[in-house]
Structure formats: structure tokens, C-alpha cells
Amino acid sequence: MEVEQKGRIYRVAGPVVTVTGIEAKMYDLVKVGDEGLMGEVIEIDRDKFIIQVYEDTSGLKPGEPVENTGLPLSVELGPGLLGSIYDGIQRPLPVLNAQLGDFIERGVAAAGLDHSKKWDFVPEAKKGEDVRGGQSIGYVQETANLKHKIMVPPGISGTIATIESGEHTVDDVICTLDDGTQLKLMQEWPVRVSRPSVEKLMPDVPLVTGQRILDALFPVAKGGTAAIPGPFGSGKTVAQQQLAKWSDTQIVVYIGCGERGNEMADVLTEFPELEDPQTNAPLMDRTVLVANTSNMPVAAREASVYTGLTIAEYFRDMGYDVSLMADSTSRWAEAMREISSRLEEMPGEEGYPAYLAARLSEFYERAGRVKTLSGDEGSITVIGAVSPPGGDFSEPVTQNTLRIVKVFWALDSKLSQRRHFPSINWLDSYSLYTQNLAEWFVGHVAGDWEELRMRAMAILQKESELQEVVQLVGSDALPDDEQLTLEVARMIREYFLQQNAYHEVDTYCPLEKQHDMLAAIMVYDDLARKALNMGRLVDEIINVPAKAELAQIKFEAEYGTKLEEVETAMRAELA
């Protein structure tokens, strides 16, 4: 039950407002001023309460009333989440757009879920059955391909006294327990509290993305954490959209946190039109978008990350795999820096608050593949984009992120200028999951997967060392075998690592095709070195016509026959 207490504004400093005359706990939700702007208690100093307001505070003045709801900032979780576009505090933007037009006025409230829509609830638990927190008691077919499980909220257990099937709104009581507890289709959860699970599982199943450089060289595990740092224009947003579209998860939560309005507009217009390759239905049917652009209030930017995470945990608890994209955590950190300076806290490195590392750790810590309260397996894979100013990876947000995440996909502006996409630098990037995932790849794809991966990386490393010599004296001065190494490295880069996100076939590459493409390049490497040892000229070997045909394999949907023909031709030409 809401406890309303009235206080008064004492001081206003941007999004930070000081209030007196109320009793409140940390993170209580309050309504500030005559317009009832939403805010949250972030500091208590004796009789003064410091509040961060999630909306523009211009025009607020001392003496205006403040109400405390007595509740923490929470999100509504239930049928209707999928396909929704929210702002940072779970107000549905299409609903606000219909009410107010393109510009949102201050103090406007809107429920996160549609409370008038009726959903067809199909019970799976029966009267007299004992249930506990996290257990599913039935489901709603929310979209054509996804069952939305209705779960008992964590911390509640008992015996079912009544359970009703049929059409219900999210406010209707669908089940009562013997102690009188009423269960609805909807539950609320405070965003800053992570939802409980039984245990975390080992990260030994890969998140298959269909992007060759990620799957083959720097894989991420389901329930893992990854960072994509890169300067402006290096392809962060396209990389995240590719991951959202193609990764083998059932749910996508995309948080546009402090991105420029035009970039977020592209996401909001493109996502609804994208077709889900797994089901051929619209991709939005399994996506939740949280949009908080750079011109929206900074405090809501900080909240948007927690809103998205809580929604992701809710679907994880149903036993689904969720991929969560945060674009970008740098803007989130900037919001923390601004609020910290308003609070006159001691600044850390580059003005960021001293607790920056702790907040980032707390965010990434909520990822993981877990055993849920109901005994299912679910996962949240968190992929955070970082936008270091000027592409400087030594700045605090990037450095603190690298200490936490296990996968680092370093975007390189030089590669993007050379039109090499995805512009992930294979020398700077790394994945700490490769050993954990090697067994899965060997068992599910091919026995020589790990051997091919290590061989390709060794060739790329060797190329990097040789490039220094080449820049001084030219490649013709190198011994024949090293000239051959440079050529094989070029084939790996151009034939394998480069991938066209806008080509209907090349945009997604199955694991079997990735293996066959890399194996074919290594077949050429073996044949070429044999020919070299038998005295053939390196120029002849490099210019065999069949090798160039390998470049076209990635654009072929039915590639098997073509690849066999190319390999046969290569063997004949190099025999």
C-alpha cells in the first residue's frame, strides 16, 4: 500500500533536488513539484533528502510540494512486454506519442503494461498443488512463437486454492493460495534488486552469433559478458544490431542508453521491420527496446540500464536465453558523473565517481547462465558498447569494463576507414571463454575446430610481425615462405574475417560453413607449402586461379559443391 507523505523542495541543482519534511528510505520513489515529476532518493543527510529526478527540472522552485510513495522504482512484468518500446523508467513511448505527439511533456505517467488488454491464460498447475516462488503455474501465448510463463513471484509459496483459465487482464486475480495470497498475470519488481536464482552454471555453451570473427576467434558464452569499445563511426551500433538479430537467444533486450537521437531513431525504425531469421516473424516479437537518448534527462539514463536488466532477468527466470545489448555504457557513466558532481562527491579519475568500477561490476554481475528457482536453465548474455572519447582505450570506463568482462571485441577506426567490416581488431581483441567452449565446438561442429582457430590466429600474429619489415624493405625482400604467410593471412582477413552485414547470405554464417571456409584456406596453405618445398616459384603459387574462387564462397547459400570444386581445382593446379 502506498504511503503518501508531503514535503517541500529546499534546493534545486539540475536533476538533483534537495527536499525537507518527508520520511523516506534510500531509493524510495517520490513525486516532485506541482507537476509530480518522478524521482528517486539517492542520499539522506539528517533531515534533508537528496533526490535525482528522472525528468527535466527547469522551472522547479523551492517550496513546491513533494510526495513520497514509500515504494522503490519498480517495473511491471507480465504479458505485453515483448514488442514494447520504453523510456528509461518503463513508460511506453508509443502510448505517450499517441497522447502527446512527438514531444513528451513533464509529469506524464503511463503504465508499463496495457491494463485493458485481455490475455488468454492457460493454467498448467491444478487446485491443491503446492507451488513455490519462481514456479510456472500456466502460460499466455504472447506472440505466435513464444509462451509467456506466468510465475509465482519469488518469496511466495503455498497450496493453490483456486485457479482460473480464460481471458484476463494483467490486474485480474487468476490464482489464490490457501493463505489468501492473490496471484495475477503481472508482478512488480524493484529495478535495483537482482531477481534470485538457485545457482550459476559454468559458461560452457557458446552464444552462436553467425559472425565469423566472433564465433571462430573470440567466442562469448551464453550467460557471458562482452564489451565492444570503439570510436565514433567504427560500427558499434551495426555490430550490436547484428548480434541482436542473429544470436541464438529467444529474447533480445536492447537498451539505447544516451545514444544520439538519430541513431536511436534508426534502431526504432529498423527493428520493427527486421524479420526474425529463426521464426520468419517480425524480430520485434521477441524484442524489448529501452530508449533513452542523449537529449533525455540524465537521471533516467542511469535508471534505463536497471530497467532493461530487470526485464531480462524476468525472461531468464522463465528458462529462456536472453541477450542484452547496452549501447552505450559510457553514456551511462557520464550520467553518473554528472549526478555525482551535483552531489558534490569526491571525484575520481577524469571526474567519474569513485564508485564507477563498483557500479559497472554490479551491472555485469547480473549476467550469467543460471539454474532458475523452477529448476530450468536460463541465461542473460550482457554485451556492452563503450564509446571512449577519441577512441582512447586507456580512459576509466573502458579500463574498468575490461577488468570485469571476459570478452573484448576491440573496434578499430583504421579498419573501418579501409572498409573492413566488422572492424574488430584481431590483435587487440580476446576471449577468456575459448578454453571453456573448445569442448563444445569440437563435439558439435568439428574435431579440428580448435586446431584451425589457433592456426589462423598464429598466422595473423605472424603477419603483424612481418608487416614492420615489409614497411621498411617491401614484401619482395622476404623469404618465399614468409611471403606465403602474408598471402594466407590476407586470405583469412579478406575471405573469412570480412563479412557483409547487408548481404542476404553473408550477413549470417552457420558454424559448419565457418569451419569449412577456414579449413579450405588451410588446405591451400598446406598445398602451397608442399609446392614451395618442391621448388615451385612463390609467385606461381600465389597466383593460382582457383584460390581466388574461395573469396566467393561466403556469398553462396548452397556452398558445398562449389567448395569441393574449388579445392579439387587448387589441388590440381598446385600438384
**Which triple of cell numbers denotes residue 397?**
570506463
Residue 82 placed within a domain: no
- On whether both 133 and 268 belong to a single domain, the answer is no
Report d(CA 447, CA 444) in Å as an integer.
Answer: 9
Binning the chain into helix, strand and coil, the percentages to the nearest 5 are 40, 25, 35
Query: Helical H runs in 217-366?
Result: 236-246, 261-270, 298-317, 329-342, 356-365
pLDDT tens for residues 507-534? Answer: 999 999 999 999 999 999 999 999 999 9
- On whether both 215 and 329 belong to a single domain, the answer is yes
CA 140 from centre of chain: 26
Q: What's 537's domain CATH number?
A: 1.10.1140.10
Q: How confident is the model at residue 206 (pLDDT cuts 50, 70, 90)?
A: very high
CA distances from 334 to 340, 387, 409 (A): 10, 11, 22
Residue 21 placed within a domain: yes
- On whether both 178 and 276 belong to a single domain, the answer is no
CB 309 within 8 A of CB 191: yes
For residue 572, report the phi and psi dihedrals to the nearest 5 degrees: -65, -45
In 144-249 the beta strands, taken as DSSP E runs, fall at: 146-151, 158-163, 166-168, 173-177, 182-184, 187-190, 199-200, 225-229
**Which triple of cell numbers denotes residue 421?**
567490416
pLDDT at 2: 45
The four Cα atoms 517, 523, 528, 534 give a dihedral, to 10 degrees, of: -170
Q: How confident is the model at residue 493 (pLDDT cuts 50, 70, 90)?
A: very high
Given 433, 461, 480, the domain boundary residue is 433
Rounded percentage of the chain residues whose pLDDT exceeds 90: 70
Residue 106 placed within a domain: no
**Which triple of cell numbers denotes residue 463?**
603477419
Given 47, 72, 97, the domain boundary residue is 72
Residues ≥6 apart with Cβ < 8 Å to 550 = 491, 495, 517, 520, 521, 524, 566
Phi-psi group of 166: left, alpha or beta (phi > 0 → left; psi -120 to 50 → alpha; rest → beta):
left
pLDDT at 4: 52
Report d(CA 494, CA 83) in Å as an integer.
Answer: 37
Helix axes 356-365, 396-404, angle to 10 degrees: 40
Q: What's 128's domain CATH number?
A: 2.40.50.100
DSSP 8-class letter at 495:
I
**pTM of this structure:** 0.92
Mean pLDDT, all residues of the chain: 91
Given 433, 457, 488, the domain boundary residue is 433
- Asked whether residue 332 carries a pLDDT value surpassing 70, the answer given is yes
329-358 burial, b at 16+ Cβ within 10 Å, e below that, comes to bbbbbbbbbbbbbbbeeeeeeeebbeebbe
- On whether both 178 and 214 belong to a single domain, the answer is no
- On whether both 419 and 466 belong to a single domain, the answer is no
- Asked whether residue 3 carries a pLDDT value surpassing 50, the answer given is no
Residue 505 placed within a domain: yes
Report d(CA 409, CA 387) in Å as an integer.
Answer: 13
pLDDT tens for residues 394-440? Answer: 999 999 999 999 999 999 989 999 999 999 999 999 999 999 999 99
326 vs 236, more confident: 326
Residue 135 placed within a domain: yes
User: Could you give the angle at the alpha carbon of 82 between the alpha carbons of 79 and 86, nearest 5°?
Assistant: 105
Phi-psi group of 107: left, alpha or beta (phi > 0 → left; psi -120 to 50 → alpha; rest → beta):
left
Report d(CA 293, CA 260) in Å as an integer.
Answer: 6
Q: How confident is the model at residue 266 (pLDDT cuts 50, 70, 90)?
A: confident
CA distances from 469 to 241, 460, 493 (A): 38, 15, 19
Identify any residues that bridge with 353 across adjacent strands, giving them in sequence order.
347
Burial class from Cβ neighbours inside 10 Å (0-12, 13-18, 19+) for residue 160 reads: buried
pLDDT at 5: 57
pLDDT at 307: 94
Residue 568 placed within a domain: yes
- On whether both 413 and 459 belong to a single domain, the answer is no
- On whether both 49 and 178 belong to a single domain, the answer is no
Residue 101 placed within a domain: no
- On whether both 408 and 453 belong to a single domain, the answer is no
- On whether both 144 and 224 belong to a single domain, the answer is no
CB 50 within 8 A of CB 299: no
Query: Helical H runs in 91-196?
Result: 93-100
Range name among 3-12, 321-330, 414-423 with the lowest pLDDT average: 3-12
- On whether both 173 and 309 belong to a single domain, the answer is no
Q: What's 286's domain CATH number?
A: 3.40.50.300
pLDDT tens for residues 13-70? Answer: 988 999 999 999 999 999 999 999 999 999 999 899 999 998 888 899 999 999 999 9
Average pLDDT of span 215-230? 95
Report d(CA 139, CA 185) in Å as an integer.
Answer: 9
User: Could you give the angle at the alpha carbon of 251 between the alpha carbons of 249 and 253, nearest 5°?
Assistant: 115
* Identity at 470, one-letter amino acid code: V
- On whether both 177 and 125 belong to a single domain, the answer is yes
- On whether both 384 and 291 belong to a single domain, the answer is yes
Residues ≥6 apart with Cβ < 8 Å to 268 = 85, 289, 291
Report d(CA 324, CA 382) in Å as an integer.
Answer: 5
The range of the structural domain enclosing residue 361 comes to 198-433
DSSP 8-class letter at 394:
T
Q: Could you give the number of structural domains in the chain?
A: 4
pLDDT tens for residues 124-164? Answer: 999 999 999 999 999 999 998 899 999 999 999 999 999 99
Average pLDDT of span 483-503? 95
Within 10 angstroms of residue 441's Cβ, the number of other Cβ atoms is 21
Residue 259 placed within a domain: yes
Average pLDDT of span 231-246? 83
168 vs 536, more confident: 168
